[in-house]
C-alpha cells in the first residue's frame, strides 16, 4: 500500500543525511573549538583573573585620599588591603575608609609589627596592637571593622639574630602562640608576612626540629610571602615550598611582589618595568600559583609605589 507519510519521512531523512555529510567538518570543527576553549584559556596565555592584595604603609592617606585609594584598589582587582595601624590617625578615619572599602567588597587587615616583637620582653607590644584592633572593632559598625590582623615581625633583621637565632626563634614561637590565643576569640583572621626562605630556619617542637615556616603556617590563617623577584618563574620558585606546605595544612598564601625601588640590586623589583611586561609576568605567576589550592593571589608591595608606577604609565 502506498503511504504518503512514510515516503515523506524517508525523503526528509535522506535530506538530513545529505546536509549532515555536507556540513559535518564545519560542525565538528565548531564543536571541537567549544570543548577546547576552556583549556586554551587556562594554558595558553589568555587573560586570567588575578586576585590581589596590597600593603599600605602611609596610614595618613586614608584621611586625605580615601576615595582614591579605594577606587585604585577596585580597578586593579585588590581584594584585601594590609593597612598599617597608626594610633595617631583618628578612629573615625578608619571607620570611613573601611566602610568605603567594604562597599567595593575590599577587606582591610590591620598591619603591625617590628623585629623586636619577636622577643619575649616585647610580647606586650603585640598584645597592645591586638587589643587596639579588638577594641576598635567592638565600637565600630560591622562594615567598619578590620577583618583580620597581619603581623610583620622580622627578627632576622636584629643584630643579635646570628648569635641568638635558636633562642630568638623560641621566644618568637611563644609570642605567636599567645597572640593567636588572644586573637581567635575576637573572630579575627590572623596572618603574617614572611620571607620566602623561612623554611631554612629551624625550630624545636618537643624533641624534634622542624622548619619554622611549617610551624608558623599551622598557627596562622594565612601568610604573605615576600618573594621579591622580577620574573614569574623565580617568584613561584621562591614560594613553592611554602605554598605546598600550606596546601597540606589548608591555609592560604598571598605571594608578594615588590614594586618599590629596591636597594638589593637588580632582579628584585618590578620598579620601572613597562606595564605590558608587568601584566605578562603577573598573569604567568597567577597561572603558576593556581596549581595550589592555598594560593590566595598576588600581594603587591606596596600601594604607594604601585600607584606611582601606574600614574607614570598613564602620563
- pLDDT for position 300: 99
Residues 23 and 103 in one domain: no
Same domain for 75 and 36: no
**Hey, what's the cell of 16?**
538530513
Q: Which residue, chain included where needed, has cell 622580622?
A: 154
How many domains does one find in the chain? Answer: 2
Could you identify the residue written with the cell 596562622?
220
Taken in order 201, 202, 203, 205, is the CA torsion positive or negative? Answer: positive
Q: Residue 86 burial by CB count (10 A; 0-12/13-18/19+): exposed, middle or buried?
A: middle
- Whether residue 22 is found in the same domain as residue 168: no
3-state secondary structure of 254: strand
Mean pLDDT of 17-40: 48
Q: Give phi and psi for 192, each to the nearest 5.
A: -145, 140
Domain co-membership, 1 together with 90: no
The strand pairing partners of 224, in sequence order, are 193, 254
Residues 288 and 146 in one domain: yes
Share of the chain above pLDDT 70, in %: 84
Residues 6 or more apart from 117 whose CB is under 8 A from it?
123, 125, 126, 151, 153, 175
pLDDT in tens, 92-127: 999 999 999 999 999 999 999 999 999 999 999 999
Q: What confidence category does residue 311 fall into, taking pLDDT thresholds of 50, 70 and 90? A: confident
Full residue range of the structural domain in which residue 40 is found: 1-46
- Work out the pLDDT band at 34, boundaries 50, 70, 90: very low
pLDDT band at 18 (very low <50, low <70, confident <90, very high): low
Instruction: Name the more confident of 315 and 54.
Output: 54
Residues 9, 147 within the same domain: no
Q: Are residues 248 and 308 located together in one domain of the fold?
A: yes
Q: What are phi and psi of 210, to 5 degrees?
A: -130, 165
28, pLDDT greater than 80:
no
Alpha carbon 295 to chain centroid distance? 7
Q: How much is the mean pLDDT over the chain?
A: 89
> Any alpha helices (H) in the chain, and if so which ranges?
4-43, 61-64, 66-75, 91-103, 123-139, 161-183, 212-219, 232-249, 275-289, 303-314
CATH number at residue 92: 3.20.20.80
15 has a pLDDT exceeding 70: no
Is there a single domain that holds both residue 275 and residue 163? yes
The predicted-structure confidence for 204-213, as pLDDT tens digits, reads as follows 888 889 999 9
Task: Say if residue 199 is in the same domain as residue 299.
Answer: yes
User: Helices 91-103 and 66-75: crossing angle, nearest 10°?
Assistant: 30
Q: pLDDT band at residue 40, thresholds of 50, 70 and 90?
A: very low
pLDDT tens for 222-270 read 999 999 999 999 999 999 999 999 999 999 999 999 999 999 999 999 9
* pLDDT score recorded for residue 205: 84
Are residues 65 and 24 part of one domain?
A: no
Residues whose CB is less than 8 angstroms from the CB of residue 102 and which lie 6 or more positions away in sequence, other chains included: 108, 143, 144
Q: Same domain for 64 and 176?
A: yes
Do 194 and 283 lie in a common domain?
Answer: yes
pLDDT digits (tens, 9 = 90+) for 123-153: 999 999 999 999 999 999 999 999 999 999 9
Amino acid at each position: 500500500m502506498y503511504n504518503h507519510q512514510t515516503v515523506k519521512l524517508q525523503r526528509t531523512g535522506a535530506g538530513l543525511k545529505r546536509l549532515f555529510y555536507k556540513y559535518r567538518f564545519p560542525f565538528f570543527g565548531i564543536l571541537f573549538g567549544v570543548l577546547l576553549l576552556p583549556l586554551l584559556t587556562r594554558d595558553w596565555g589568555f587573560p586570567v583573573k588575578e586576585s590581589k592584595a596590597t600593603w599600605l604603609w602611609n596610614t595618613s592617606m586614608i584621611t586625605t585620599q580615601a576615595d582614591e585609594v579605594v577606587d585604585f584598589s577596585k580597578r586593579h582587582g585588590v581584594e584585601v588591603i594590609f593597612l598599617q595601624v597608626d594610633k595617631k590617625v583618628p578612629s573615625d578615619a578608619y571607620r570611613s575608609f573601611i566602610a568605603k572599602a567594604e562597599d567595593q567588597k575590599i577587606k582591610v587587615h590591620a598591619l603591625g609589627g617590628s623585629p623586636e616583637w619577636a622577643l619575649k620582653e616585647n610580647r606586650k607590644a603585640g598584645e597592645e596592637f591586638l587589643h587596639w584592633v579588638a577594641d576598635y572593632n567592638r565600637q565600630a559598625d560591622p562594615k567598619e571593622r578590620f577583618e583580620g590582623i597581619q603581623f610583620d615581625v622580622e627578627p632576622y633583621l636584629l643584630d643579635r639574630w646570628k648569635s641568638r637565632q635558636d633562642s630568638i626563634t623560641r621566644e618568637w614561637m611563644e609570642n605567636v602562640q599567645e597572640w593567636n590565643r588572644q586573637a581567635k576569640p575576637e573572630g579575627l583572621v590572623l596572618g603574617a608576612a614572611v620571607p620566602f626562605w623561612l623554611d631554612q630556619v629551624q625550630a624545636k617542637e618537643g624533641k624534634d626540629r622542624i622548619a619554622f615556616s611549617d610551624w608558623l603556617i599551622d598557627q596562622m590563617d594565612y601568610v604573605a610571602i615576600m618573594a621579591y623577584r622580577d620574573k614569574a618563574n623565580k617568584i613561584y620558585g621562591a614560594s613553592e615550598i611554602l605554598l605546598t606546605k600550606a596546601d597540606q595544612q589548608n591555609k592560604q598564601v598571598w605571594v608578594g611582589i615588590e614594586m618599590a625601588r629596591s636597594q638589593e640590586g637588580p632582579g628584585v623589583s618590578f620598579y620601572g618595568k613597562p606595564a605590558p611586561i608587568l601584566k605578562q609576568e603577573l598573569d604567568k605567576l597567577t597561572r603558576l600559583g593556581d596549581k595550589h589550592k592555598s594560593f590566595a593571589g598576588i600581594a603587591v608591595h606596596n600601594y604607594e609605589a604601585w600607584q606611582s608606577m601606574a600614574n607614570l604609565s598613564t602620563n
